[in-house]
Amino acid sequence: MGKTQPVMALDDRPMWDSIAEGALKLQKCSGCGAFRYPPGPICAECLSMESEWVAVDGGGNVLSWVVFHRKYFDDFPPPYNAVAVRLDEGPIVMTNLIGDPPEGSWIGHRVQLNYVDHDGRRQHAARIVDAG
């Protein structure tokens, strides 16, 4: 079965380094200011190949969520959730919701990224910050 591991292409390293430090940075185009996620060598908006790494605030809203009832990885015993979060800066990231889930639908709830230790790796997770 095996454990999860991040895709670590040439452009991914700085993001994971920032996650390890507890403050997610994303790649921002030096040409037009658009964020790139996942990181990559060129801006899909303006085709600039220049970029800088910028810390994001970590606030966002839940776009959708699922609950896994089947085991796919040794480090994720079911049931467990995954949520798609639209960050305030624009990009959509996948993460896990930690803390008490809201009653009913999770969609639209306000979340803040936290940083957790997962099986020897530091990564982000989302916590609900609104009143529901």
Partner 1 sequence: MTKGLSNVAAVVGVGQTDWRRDYRDQRGGAPGRLDSPGLAALAFTRALADAGISRDEVDGLIVGPTTPYERMGELLGIDARWGGQADAMLAVIQACMAIKSGLAEVVALVYGNNQRSGKTNYGGSNAAGGASFLSYVYHAPWGFTSQGALYALMFRRYMEETGLTEAQLGEVAVAQRLAASLNPDAIMQTPITVEDYLASEYVCEPLHKLDYCLINDGGVALIIMEAERARKTGRNAVQIHGVGRYDLNTGATSMEPRLTDYYLPAQKKVAAQVFDMAGVGPKDIASAQIYDSFSCHIPLALEGYGYCGAGEAGRFMAEGNIKLGGRLPVNTSGGHLSESYMQGWGHQIEAVRQVRGTGGARQVPDCRFVHYSSDVAGKAVSIIYGK
Chain contacts with partner 1 (rule: CB under 8 A): 1-7, 37-38, 44, 63-70, 72-73, 75-76, 80, 82, 84, 91-96, 105, 107, 118, 121, 123
**Residue 59 or 91: which CB sits closer to partner 1?**
91
> What values do phi and psi take at 16, rounded to 5?
-70, -35
**Residue 59 or 86: which CB sits closer to partner 1?**
86
**Residue 4 or 30: which CB sits closer to partner 1?**
4
Min. distance of Cβ 14 from partner 1 in angstroms?
Answer: 16
Question: Long-range contact list for 106-109, CB < 8 A, 24+ apart?
Answer: 106/62, 106/65, 107/62, 107/63, 107/64, 107/65, 108/61, 108/62, 109/61, 109/62
Min. distance of Cβ 114 from partner 1 in angstroms?
Answer: 13
Q: CA angle at residue 12 from 92 to 41, to 5 degrees? A: 90
